[in-house]
């Protein structure tokens, strides 16, 4: 086997494997002062693009489908692994029915998370110091009594066309298909960021269901 | 080492790409020299839809659904109808465009912006509607966006980008297999530099389309009998940078505002036959504010939520100058309260490009609360804080004394007193708010605050 083939095989193994990613947990969770038993998962915002030889192409429908899949799978993984129950939020239900004010409340709170997220990502380890909070506006979501936490999901992914995949192997320098998630769990009573995890995997984000599950399982491993 | 013949072929192919594709700097320079007056017809009648365009169209339709579903579209029927009326008045009568269905909507975003989707959806943000002065300026923005749709700019831009990306990828492939020696080094340099030229041409192309939309927009305004000079005035308004966030980048898809004002003024000089009298504009401004007052209030809430306190202060002051009722006074008070220890305006030094870049980096490193704490540790911050809290209290009081006082004023006062650690007063104001607004959507939040305050008072 030539050196080039060995490198190729190693690359294949690395790109195909799932990776465990960092999880940062608030001291209140570690000390069990706060426990997460009941959650509300807010609509996930996961965007994927198709990378072709002619540039990136939007995949709005696939992104929406993937967002729903991730949302469901987060609830599933937390339920199976950590016995956490997911409840629908009255605000989320209202947003489906078209109640404008509740819909705005959810949208505004999602925007607030989007503003905080870059700061969290800049120094993720500070979640362990309890540095990040979204404030008591979380109560504007009017969640069911007994809800412990609210889950925010963001993600970006890329799918390669066959032309781009061929170019990747022939030329190199092309980032492989991937999905990168950012998940924040926020205290439903005071808005403190209780957990931040960023699971990711390489592979087609629209079809790699098992890899997604595995990445999420690894992503919540440290949550008590 | 590559055989001599192959090397020759690669170099020849590269030379062909550079000379005959639009990425050649010569082509770029020629584009820039295009005369301002030579504007194309309002429609791109020769446009034929291809598969690639239909894909873009499908994405646009889905994006419309997503914006609506995610609560980003303002559900204010009368405000949307107002924007729709202006939009419709600008579209040439009897115009039917293939695969275009005109929709005019307001987006809940405090940043001044507007955009058009190729399916005919035009979005104007609440931030833009609050910033501008009159209906003619809104018409100028919409006319610009309508041109993007009528001239099929999204499709044209997408097709052009696809060609350029393809060339870029081919170049990368050529670069990867470059031979050694001088020829190899030349190929490596060309393939490394080419993507940068490519990006410049992509954005350059977009700048040309923006220029076309500006100029055609003026023609549309004249046809719909809107004073065209308002296109220039709206550009000047967009140049305002309250938050120090307009960072000039090397690549930018819009021409600089100075450049836009210059070529628009030049174009207008030849065409405008009158300048609208001040009195007429003032009347128009009053009518505009009356129409969009609820949108402006909604935007103030969004601006405050997004930490854009300086913008909120400027916009709320304008609203109070127009109509000093209880609710508008409340928004001005809220702006002062949230401004806290920050200065109401950025200094000239803070508005330089390098200072803005530094501030952007810094804002990534600290939360709003941390920024406030840092500022409060300085004498200027302390001074600002005291002054702004006092201003806020006075304005809340004025709002309570105005006709039909808004219940939210009590909530604002409660928050102010809580910050000032006047806990009894804060709890009383919160209770008053809940008594007057029993079905408030933030009831749970305020109730929790009352409980916490009472616990602390024990």
- How many angstroms away from the CA of B363 is the closest CA of chain A? 8
3-state secondary structure at position B116: strand
**Range(s) of the domain holding residue A117:** 22-219
B4 touches chain A (CB under 8 A): no
Domain count, chain A: 1
d(C-alpha B186, C-alpha B180), whole Å: 10
d(CA B403, CA B235): 37
Closest residue of chain B to A123, computed from CA coordinates: B365
As a whole number of angstroms, the distance between CA B67 and CA B73 comes to 6
Q: How many helices (H) and strands (E) does chain B have?
A: 19, 3
Tell me which residue in B71, B176, B302 faces A171 most closely, judged by beta carbons.
B176
Q: How confident is the model at residue B249 (pLDDT cuts 50, 70, 90)?
A: low
Strands B121-125 and B103-107: parallel
Query: Would you call A171 and B173 a contact, using CB atoms and an 8 Å cutoff?
Result: yes
CA closest to A143 among chain B residues? B444
Measured between CB atoms, does B111 come within 8 Å of chain A? no
Residue A27 lies in a domain: yes
- Alpha-carbon distance B386 to B391, whole Å? 9
Contact A112 B305 (CB under 8 A): yes
Q: With 80 as the cut, is the pLDDT of residue B344 above it?
A: yes
Total Cβ atoms within 10 A of residue B398: 18
Interface residue B441 vs chain A (CB under 8 A): yes
CB contact under 8 A, B165 and A107: no
pLDDT at B224 over 80: yes
Angstrom distance (rounded) from CA B330 to CA B190 = 61
B455 touches chain A (CB under 8 A): no
Residue of chain B whose Cα is closest to the Cα of A133: B367
* Residue whose C-alpha is closest to residue B396's, from B443, B447, B339, B337: B337
Q: Which of A64, A116, A173 sits opposite B66 (nearest CB)?
A: A64
**B266-319 confidence digits (pLDDT tens):** 888 766 545 667 777 788 889 999 999 999 999 999 999 999 999 999 999 999
- Which of A105, A131, A189 lies closest to B441 in CB terms? A105
Size of interface A-B (CB pairs under 8 A): 89
> Among A74-78, B60-64, B246-250, whose mean pLDDT is lowest?
B246-250
The minimum CA-CA distance between A54 and chain B, rounded to whole Å, is 4
Q: Which of A111, A101, A102 is nearest to B298 (CA)?
A: A101
- Which of B59, B302, B369 has the CB atom closest to A60's CB atom? B59
Question: Do residues A151 and A40 make contact, with C-beta atoms less than 8 angstroms apart?
Answer: yes
Q: CA A61, A66, A67, A71: dihedral to nearest 10 degrees? A: 150
Look at B313 and B225; give whichever has higher pLDDT: B313
Give the C-alpha separation, A191 to B368, whole Å: 15
The C-alpha atoms of residue A112 and residue B367 are separated, in whole angstroms, by: 12
Would you call B99 helix, strand, or coil by DSSP? coil
Separation CA B402–CA B329 (nearest Å): 9
What is the model's pLDDT at position B172? Answer: 73
Q: Residue A8's pLDDT band (boundaries 50, 70, 90)?
A: low
Helix (H) or strand (E) holding B123: strand B121-125
Using CA atoms, how far apart are residues B311 and B317, in angstroms rounded to an integer? Answer: 10
Residue in B with minimal Cα distance to A172:
B176
DSSP assignment of B20-88 equals: HSTTSHHHHHHHHT--TT-PPPSS-TT----HHHHHHHHHHHHHHHHHHHTT-B---HHHHHHHHHHHH
What residue ranges do the domains of chain B occupy? Answer: 4-271, 283-406
Mutate to test the interface with A, among B60, B71, B111, B203 (most CBs of A within 10 A): B71
B346 touches chain A (CB under 8 A): no
ipTM for the whole complex: 0.84
The stretch B44-58 carries a mean pLDDT of 87
Q: What residue in A sits closest to B53 (Cα-Cα)?
A: A57
Asked if A82 reaches chain B (Cβ–Cβ under 8 Å), the answer is: no
> How many CB atoms lie under 10 A from the CB of residue A26?
24
Q: Please report which helix (H) or strand (E) contains residue B112, including its range.
A: none
Chain A: residue nearest B174 by CA? A171
Measured between CB atoms, does B55 come within 8 Å of chain A? yes
Does B306 touch chain A if contact means CB atoms closer than 8 Å? yes
Q: Which region holds residue A216: left if phi is over 0, alpha if psi is between -120 and 50, else beta?
A: alpha
Enter the pTM of the model. 0.85
Q: Does B366 contact A119 at a Cβ distance shorter than 8 Å?
A: yes
A33/chain B closest Cα distance in angstroms: 19
Query: Would residue A4 count as lying in a domain?
Result: no
- Check CB contact of B362 with chain A, cutoff 8 Å: no
Strand, coil or helix: B130: helix
The residues near B188 (Cβ < 8 Å, ≥ 6 apart) are: B175, B178
| Whole-angstrom distance, CA of residue A93 vs CA of residue A144 | 12
Q: Please state, in angstroms and as integers, the Cα–Cα distance from residue B394 to each residue in B37, B187, B390, B409, following that order.
A: 54, 70, 6, 12
Nearest CA distance, B321 vs chain A (angstrom): 28
Give the span between the Cα atoms of B188 and B181, in whole angstroms: 11
Contact B300, B315 (CB under 8 A): yes
CATH number of the domain at A194, please. Answer: 3.30.160
CA distance B188 to A78: 50
Q: Which of residues 18-77 of A touch B (CB under 8 A)?
A: 43, 53-55, 57-58, 60-61, 64
Distance, in Å, from the CA atom of B103 to the CA atom of B116, rounded to the nearest integer, reads 10
Other beta carbons within 10 angstroms of residue B24's beta carbon come to 15
Quick one: which of B142, B78, B129, B58 has its CA closest to B302? Answer: B129
Rounded CA separation B397/B407 (Å) = 12
Write the pLDDT tens digit of every residue in A34-58.
999 999 999 999 999 998 888 888 8
- Which residues from B are below 8 Å from A122, CB to CB? 364-365
Report how far Cα A32 is from the mean position of its chain's Cα atoms: 24
With an 8 Å Cβ cutoff, are B62 and A60 in contact? yes
Distances in whole angstroms, Cα of residue B210 to Cα of each of B131, B200, B207: 21, 15, 5
Q: Quote the CA–CA distance of A118 and B246 in Å, as a whole number.
A: 19
Contacts with A162 (C-beta within 8 Å, 6 or more apart), sequence order: none
Please tell me the predicted confidence (pLDDT) of residue B269.
77
DSSP chain A: --HHHHHHHHHHHHHHSB----EEE-HHHHTTSS---EEEEPPPEEEEEEEETTEEEE-HHHHHHHHHHHHHHHHHHHHHHH-PEE---HHHHHHHHT-HHHHHHHHHHHHHHHHHHHHHHHTGGGGGGT--B--GGGGGG-PPTT--EEEEEEEEEEEE-HHHHHHHHHH---PPPEEEEEEEEEETTT-BEEEEE--EEES-TTT-HHHHHHHHHHHTTT--
Question: What does the pLDDT read at residue B379?
Answer: 97
Does any CB of chain B come closer than 8 Å to the CB of residue A170? yes
Give the mean pLDDT of B123-140. 95
Residue A128: the pLDDT is 95
* pLDDT above 70 for B202: no
Reported as type and span, the H/E element at residue B122 is: strand B121-125
Q: What is the pLDDT of residues B393-405, one digit of tens each?
A: 999 999 999 999 9
DSSP per residue, B132-190: --SHHHHHHHHHHHHHHHHTTHHHHHHHHHHHHHHHHHHHHHHHHT--SHHHHHHHHHH
Out of A53, A60, A131, whose CB is closest to B66? A60
* Interface contact B297, partner A, CB < 8 A: no
Give the residue with greater pLDDT, A98 vs B341.
B341
Q: Judge whether A224 lies within some domain.
A: no
Q: What is the largest CA-CA distance in chain A?
A: 65
Question: Residue A11: pLDDT above 60?
Answer: no
Kind plus residue range of the DSSP H or E element containing B236 = helix B230-238
Question: How many Cβ atoms from other residues are within 10 Å of residue B330's Cβ?
Answer: 29
B21 to chain A: which residues are within 8 Å by CB? none
User: Average pLDDT, whole number, for chain A?
Assistant: 86
Burial (CB count within 10 angstroms: exposed 0-12, middle 13-18, buried 19+), residue B260 = buried
What are the beta bridge partners of residue A149?
A: A39, A187
User: Which of A200-204, B156-160, B293-297 shows the lowest mean pLDDT across its residues?
Assistant: B156-160
Q: What average pLDDT does chain B have? A: 85
């Amino acid at each position: 086997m030539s050196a080039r083939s060995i490198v190729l095989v190693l690359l294949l193994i690395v790109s195909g494997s799932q990776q465990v990613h960092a999880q940062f947990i608030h001291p209140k969770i570690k000390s069990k002062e706060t426990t997460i038993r009941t959650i509300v998962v807010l609509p996930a915002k996961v965007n994927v693009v198709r990378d072709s030889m002619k540039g990136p192409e939007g995949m709005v429908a696939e992104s929406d489908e993937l967002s729903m899949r991730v949302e469901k799978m987060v609830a599933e993984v937390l339920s199976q692994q950590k016995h956490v129950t997911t409840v629908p939020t009255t605000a989320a239900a209202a947003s489906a029915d078209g109640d404008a004010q509740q819909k705005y409340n959810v949208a505004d709170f999602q925007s607030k998370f989007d503003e905080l997220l870059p700061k969290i990502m800049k120094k993720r380890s500070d979640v362990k110091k309890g540095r990040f909070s979204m404030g008591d506006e979380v109560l504007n979501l009017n969640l069911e009594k007994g809800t412990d936490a609210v889950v925010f999901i963001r993600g970006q992914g890329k799918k390669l066309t066959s032309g781009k995949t061929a170019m990747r192997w022939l030329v190199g320098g092309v980032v492989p298909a991937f999905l990168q998630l950012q998940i924040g769990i926020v205290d439903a009573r005071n808005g403190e960021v209780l957990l931040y995890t960023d699971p990711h995997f390489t592979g087609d984000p629209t079809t790699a269901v098992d890899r997604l599950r595995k990445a999420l399982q690894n992503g919540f491993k440290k949550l008590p | 080492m590559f055989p001599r013949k192959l090397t020759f072929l690669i170099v020849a192919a590269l030379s062909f790409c550079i000379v005959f594709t639009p990425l050649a700097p010569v082509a770029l320079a020629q584009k820039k020299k295009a005369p301002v007056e030579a504007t194309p017809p309002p429609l791109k009648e020769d446009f034929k839809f291809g598969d690639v365009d239909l894909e873009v169209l499908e994405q646009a339709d889905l994006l419309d659904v997503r914006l609506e579903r995610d609560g980003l579209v303002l559900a204010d029927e009368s405000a949307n109808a107002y924007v729709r009326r202006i939009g419709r008045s600008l579209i040439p009568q009897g115009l039917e465009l293939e695969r275009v269905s005109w929709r005019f909507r307001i987006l809940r975003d405090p940043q001044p912006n507007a955009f058009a989707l190729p399916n005919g959806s035009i979005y104007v943000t609440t931030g833009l509607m609050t910033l501008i002065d009159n209906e003619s300026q809104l018409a100028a923005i919409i006319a610009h966006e309508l041109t993007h749709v009528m001239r099929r700019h999204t499709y044209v831009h997408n097709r052009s980008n696809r060609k350029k990306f393809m060339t870029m990828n081919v170049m990368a492939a050529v670069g990867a297999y470059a031979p050694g020696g001088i020829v190899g080094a030349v190929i490596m340099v060309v393939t490394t530099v080419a993507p940068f030229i490519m990006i410049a041409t992509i954005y350059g192309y977009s700048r040309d389309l923006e220029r076309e939309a500006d100029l055609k927009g003026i023609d549309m305004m004249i046809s719909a009998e809107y004073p065209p000079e308002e296109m220039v005035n709206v550009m000047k308004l967009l140049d305002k940078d309250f938050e120090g966030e307009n960072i000039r980048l090397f690549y930018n898809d819009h021409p600089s505002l100075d450049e836009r004002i210059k070529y628009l003024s030049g174009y207008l000089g030849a065409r405008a036959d009158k300048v609208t009298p001040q009195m007429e504009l003032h009347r128009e401004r009053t009518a505009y504010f009356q129409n969009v007052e609820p949108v402006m209030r909604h935007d103030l809430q969004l601006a405050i939520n997004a930490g854009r306190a300086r913008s909120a202060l400027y916009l709320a002051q304008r609203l109070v100058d127009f109509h000093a009722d209880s609710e508008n006074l409340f928004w001005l008070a809220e702006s002062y309260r949230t401004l806290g220890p920050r200065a109401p305006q950025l200094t000239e030094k803070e508005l330089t490009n390098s200072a803005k870049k530094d501030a952007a980096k810094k804002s990534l490193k600290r939360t709003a609360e941390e920024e406030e704490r840092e500022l409060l540790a300085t004498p200027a911050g302390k001074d600002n804080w005291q002054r702004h809290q006092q201003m806020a209290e006075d304005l809340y009081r004025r709002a309570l004394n105005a006709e039909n006082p808004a219940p939210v004023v009590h909530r604002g006062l409660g928050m102010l007193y809580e910050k000032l650690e006047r806990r009894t007063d804060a709890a009383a104001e919160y209770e008053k708010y809940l008594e007057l607004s029993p079905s408030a959507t933030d009831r749970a939040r305020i109730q929790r605050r009352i409980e916490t305050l009472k616990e602390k008072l024990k």
